Structure 1
Amino acid sequence: MHFRCQKRDLVEGISTVQKAILGKSPMAVLEGIYIETGDQEIIMRGSDIDLSIETLVASSIMEEGRIVIDSKLFGDIIRKLPDAMIELATMENNTILISCENSEFNLLYLNAEEFPMLPEIGNREKIAIKEDTFRNLIRSTSFAVAQDESRPILMGVLFEVKNKVLNMVALDGFRLAMRSEYLESNEDVSVVIPGKTLNEVSKILSDKDEDLFISFNDNHILFEIQNTKIVSRLLSGNFIKYESIIPTDYKLQFKVKRAHLAQSIERASLMAKDGSSRLIKLNIENDRALITSNSQFGKVKEEVPVSMDGDAIEIAFNANYLLDTLKVMDEEEIIIEMTSGVSPAIIRNSITDNCKYMVLPVRLAR
């Protein structure tokens, strides 16, 4: 193997594939980056078996070949080299020579035969969606993915396409996040994508108005983002029937400025006694939301004007759950619906009907 490429291109390729490499692995080859020469480009791949990322890097190819090289050491070396053309060539005794201006490194490499290939996805119709749209869908839902491994299916996000509408849903037992977008697709799909995969996909997506393509088989999902492919295992099992747990009735509905509410909750939560739950109380009456929190250090009171329709309600929440939701919403004014102090609250946009969030309250001691 012998090729040359610009440092910036090689660094970008390394950073992309390293997102799939865990570090320490029972298989030494999975601690490395797979590199193969192509047609005036090199193919780079990282994998932890469950998640694989492959990208193309523009290069001048002098000799074909393929190797696996230690991910961390290779990445550290390339990032420290001057911003210039880098040349790599395999030598005797399973070593590769890395040259850039006045710097030379000799590294050992591994046999590429043992490195896993990308799983075959098949020829099902690909779903096209804009990169910036999908990035926003991930941001709007993945924060509600469960971290508790006792229910593995909830560690993923439901990706559901029906009647040309994509619904992405995540829930962790304390809150639910749902975001919808119209899709020009005839596919009907219902799969659960690991939250970890979506977080890595989000890091690779740009803010551009360009299409990414998504395809499936029974066990895997493939994302094609310009010159990069991301293949992940899907989570097995049935996702919770989320429609049945979202309340449809309410006794109180109020409109409020999202930023004003979020800022008040954030300030009130500073006084919360328990740092992990950051308990705050809301008393909604007379077109105002009174937000309070007490601890051994003192107490705080915040007042936010609202436009309410219905009965007054006193309710308590984990401030973190409310703030996580308010931060990902994008309309200036939102609607919150409640039934009682012990029933879930529903939060949604006031204009665009493309998202719905459910947050469970904390029961107050009487």
Structure 2
Amino acid sequence: MKFICEKQKLQEGISISSKAITGKTTMPILEGIYISAKDNQLKLIGSDMDVSIETMVDADIKEEGSIVIDSRLFGEIIRKLPNSEIIIETLENEIIQITCQKSVFNLVYMNGDDYPELPKINESLSVEVPQNILKSMIRGTSFAIAQDETRPILQGILFEVKDKKLNLVALDGYRLAIRTEFLDNDNDIEVVIPGKTLNEVSRILEDISDIVKITFTDNHILFNLSNTKIISRLLDGKFVNYSSLLPQEYKILLDVKKQELQNCIERASLMAKDSNSNLIKLDIQEENMIITSNSQLGKVREELNINLQGGEIQIAFNSKYLLDVLKNIEDDEVKLEMTSGVSPCVIKCKNTDNSKYLVLPVRLLR
């Protein structure tokens, strides 16, 4: 095998494919990047068997072949080489030579034939979503994925297609995040994708309107970008019936400017950091919301204007859960729907209908 490639292109390919390499494997070959040189393109693959990422890089192929090379070391070498053409060729005794200007590295490589094959995905059942929309939907839900390993299904995000809508749903027992977008597709699909997979997908997606083709089998999902494919196992099991968790009615509705509320909560939470609950109290009055927090460090009081319909209420929250929601809402104004100080609060955008969040309050001791 021998090829010539621009450093920047090769470095980008290594960066993308190595996102799937965790190092937590009993198979040493999975600590490496698979490189195949053919038809004036390099195919780079990284995998941990649960998630695999394949990306293509243009190169001048002098001699075809395939190898596997330690991803960490190879990535470090390429990153530190000059911004110039890199020549890579295999020598005898399973040695690969990397040459760039006056730098020459000789590294041991593994046989490419020993690398596990990627799952075969029959691209029949698929949907198409613009990259920027999918990236925004993942960002707007992934913070609510459960970290608790006792319920593995909640460590994923529900990917649901029905009634010409795509819903992404995440919940962890304390909050629920739902993002919805129109999808011109008549299929009914319901799968649960590991949160780790979607976070890696989000890092690779760009804020552009180019299409991502998403294909499903019973056990796997494939995200197909122009030069990159991401294949992941799906989580087994049935996701929670999330629609049953959403209150069907409310008694109190308030409108508030999102950034003002976020700023007040961020300041109030500074006093709440000495406890695990990050407790802040909201005293919702006719025209004002008063936010307070008391701790051993001291106390804080914030006040902001609101538009209230319904009665006054006192309610408390973990400030982190509210901030996670507000940081991921793209609207300038938000609506808060409540019924009592011990029932869930639903947060929505005031002017758009593509986001819905539920946060459980913290019970206050009387």
Give the superposition deviation at 1:303: 0.5
Give the superposition deviation at 1:275: 4.1
Q: Which amino acid aligns with 1:269?
A: S
Give the superposition deviation at 1:118: 1.7
Q: How many Å separate the matches in 1 of 2:206 and 2:138?
A: 13
Q: Which amino acid aligns with 1:175?
A: R
Counterparts in 2 of 1:162 and 1:198: CA distance versus 1, 3 Å? same
Give the superposition deviation at 1:247: 0.6
Give the superposition deviation at 1:126: 2.3
Give the superposition deviation at 1:277: 2.3
Counterparts of 1:170-209 in structure 2 under 5 Å? 170-209=170-209
Aligned position for 1:85: 85
Counterparts of 1:48-59 in structure 2 under 5 Å? 48-59=48-59
Counterparts of 1:1-366 in structure 2 under 5 Å? 1-272=1-272, 274-366=274-366
What stretches of structure 2 of length at least 5 have no aligned partner? none
Give the superposition deviation at 1:123: 3.3
Q: Which amino acid aligns with 2:300?
A: V
Contact 1:344 1:360 (C-alpha < 8 Å) held by counterparts: yes
Give the superposition deviation at 1:184: 1.2
The CA deviation string for residues 189-232 of structure 1, in whole angstroms up to 9 with x for no partner, is 00000000000000100111110100000000000111000000
Q: Which amino acid aligns with 2:307?
A: S
Give the superposition deviation at 1:24: 4.3
Q: How many Å separate the matches in 2 of 1:103 and 1:29?
A: 26
Moved segments of 4+, more than 4 Å = none
Q: How many Å separate the matches in 2 of 1:209 and 1:107?
A: 41
The RMSD of aligned alpha carbons is 0.9
Q: TM-score, normalised by structure 1?
A: 0.99
Give the superposition deviation at 1:124: 1.6
Give the superposition deviation at 1:332: 0.7
Q: How many Å separate the matches in 2 of 1:233 and 1:276?
A: 34
Give the superposition deviation at 1:344: 0.5
Q: How many Å separate the matches in 2 of 1:262 and 1:24?
A: 38
Q: Which amino acid aligns with 2:232?
A: S
Q: How many Å separate the matches in 1 of 2:162 and 2:21?
A: 34
Q: SS at 1:202's partner residue?
A: helix
Q: How many residues align?
A: 366
Q: SS at 2:62's partner residue?
A: strand
Contact 1:54 1:230 (C-alpha < 8 Å) held by counterparts: yes
Contact 1:273 1:294 (C-alpha < 8 Å) held by counterparts: no
Q: SS at 1:248's partner residue?
A: coil
Give the superposition deviation at 1:274: 3.3
Give the superposition deviation at 1:117: 1.6
Counterparts in 2 of 1:275 and 1:104: CA distance versus 1, 3 Å? farther
What stretches of structure 1 of length at least 5 have no aligned partner? none
Q: TM-score, normalised by structure 2?
A: 0.99
Q: Which amino acid aligns with 1:63?
A: E
Q: Which amino acid aligns with 2:56?
A: L
Counterparts in 2 of 1:24 and 1:168: CA distance versus 1, 3 Å? closer
